[in-house]
Amino acid sequence: MSQIPKILVVGCGPVGTMCSYSLQNSGRATVTAILRSAYDDVEANGFHIKSIDHGEVDGWRPHNISRTLDDALQYGPFDYVLVALKNLPDVYSIPDIIRPAVASDKATIVLVQNGIDIEQPLIDAFPDNVVISGVPLIGCEQNGREILHNDPDILLVGAYTKNPHKMGQGKLTCSEFAEIYTAGGAKCEVKENLTWFRWRKLCWNASFNAICALTNLDSGLIQDAGALETLIKPAMGEVAAIASAAGYQLPEDIKEQMVAFTPRELYLKPSMQVDAIRGRPMEIEVILGNALRIAEKVDVDAKLLGTLYQLLKAKQRVLLSAR
């Protein structure tokens, strides 16, 4: 690895921008970010970040910005390729998008995304590379160069690889990444059992994201409407049952923990609801589809999740055909 790791950020929305900020702020990495719709604004004025972790920062730019991945290659070869795109296997292939930037088996791929079983396509496409999977516990939104980061950034990470000889190195690389990230002023914690944490977060995303996107009621309004006991908690219960059958036992009170995860009075729009409102594709395959495919393998009946998935797929078809 080069002395100062070179990090490429693919997907510089609110999450990718906050990752870029922490990594660059550490002083221990060179960050190249691919910007699309925000490129001109950020090139001219920099990002304006209001962050619960970092305070207000105006005029901030990643070390290098590029409009396309091909253009960004001039700043490589990259030690880390961090992906903070929406995970949309029904719309595009993340391995295909990042392949030109994964120059050798020494490049580590970092996923900062919601969902379950999202590592597998990368492990299959890059069998000799290390994949760091990251569960983002953060709340942030973007409007052009404006970033509002209102829920602290805690990134949980774990290493995966198809090549067993790479696992030792993978764990070291994962610790190095977490140290750099944390040195930049946010939190990044290495978890041996990262998949367990994915299942735990999925309880929230598969229930609230799906039901709020379908009803267009936010996380508070859906509770005011009386759907906590009839829809939200039953959906969480199905996720917990699949996780348990797959070998990831969640706590007895997981539903109560996950409901408390975002206070009702926040009236928060989950990312899937925001995508539906903006006419953008929703992460239904990695949040519901993958969970249901695992349910089938471990023989768990998940009727409610199955219904939510089919309803969302119908909505997705309309969203995609309007693009």
Ligand X SMILES: NC(=O)C1=CN([C@@H]2O[C@H](COP(=O)(O)OP(=O)(O)OC[C@H]3O[C@@H](n4cnc5c(N)ncnc54)[C@H](OP(=O)(O)O)[C@@H]3O)[C@@H](O)[C@H]2O)C=CC1
Give residues in contact with ligand X (CB under 6 A).
10-16, 34, 36-37, 84-87, 97, 112-114, 136, 138-140, 142, 271, 283
CA distances from 192 to 115, 156, 171, 291 (A): 18, 10, 9, 21
The site for ligand KPL, by CB under 6 A, has a size of 8
Residues 6+ apart with CB under 8 A from 102: 81, 109, 126, 129
Distance of closest approach, residue 65 Cβ to ligand X, in angstroms: 12
Distance of closest approach, residue 4 Cβ to ligand X, in angstroms: 23
> Applying CB under 6 A, does 204 fall inside the site for ligand KPL?
yes
Inter-residue contact 213 to 219 (CB < 8 Å): no
CB-count exposure of residue 19 (10 Å: 0-12, 13-18, 19+): buried
> Applying CB under 6 A, does 13 fall inside the site for ligand KPL?
no
To 5 degrees, how large is the angle CA 196–CA 200–CA 203? Answer: 140
Distance of closest approach, residue 196 Cβ to ligand KPL, in angstroms: 17
Residue 34 binds what, of ligand KPL, ligand X, none (CB under 5 to 8 Å, by partner type)? ligand X
Distance of closest approach, residue 317 Cβ to ligand X, in angstroms: 19
Residue 5 phi/psi, 5-degree rounding, is -60, 140
Which two tokens mark 54? 């970092």
Which two tokens mark 130? 């290390």
Residue 293 binds what, of ligand X, ligand KPL, none (CB under 5 to 8 Å, by partner type)? none
> Applying CB under 6 A, does 209 fall inside the site for ligand KPL?
yes
* Residue (of 80, 76, 48, 98) closest to 180 by Cα position: 80
Of 137-156, binders to ligand KPL (CB under 6 A) are 139
Which two tokens mark 237? 């219960």
Query: Which helix H or strand E contains 103, and what residues bound it?
Result: none
Residue 209 binds what, of ligand KPL, ligand X, none (CB under 5 to 8 Å, by partner type)? ligand KPL
Residue 113 binds what, of ligand KPL, ligand X, none (CB under 5 to 8 Å, by partner type)? ligand X
- Nearer residue to ligand KPL within complex by CB, 62 or 270: 270
Q: Which stretch binds ligand KPL (CB under 6 A): 53-61, 115-123, 202-210, 243-251?
A: 202-210
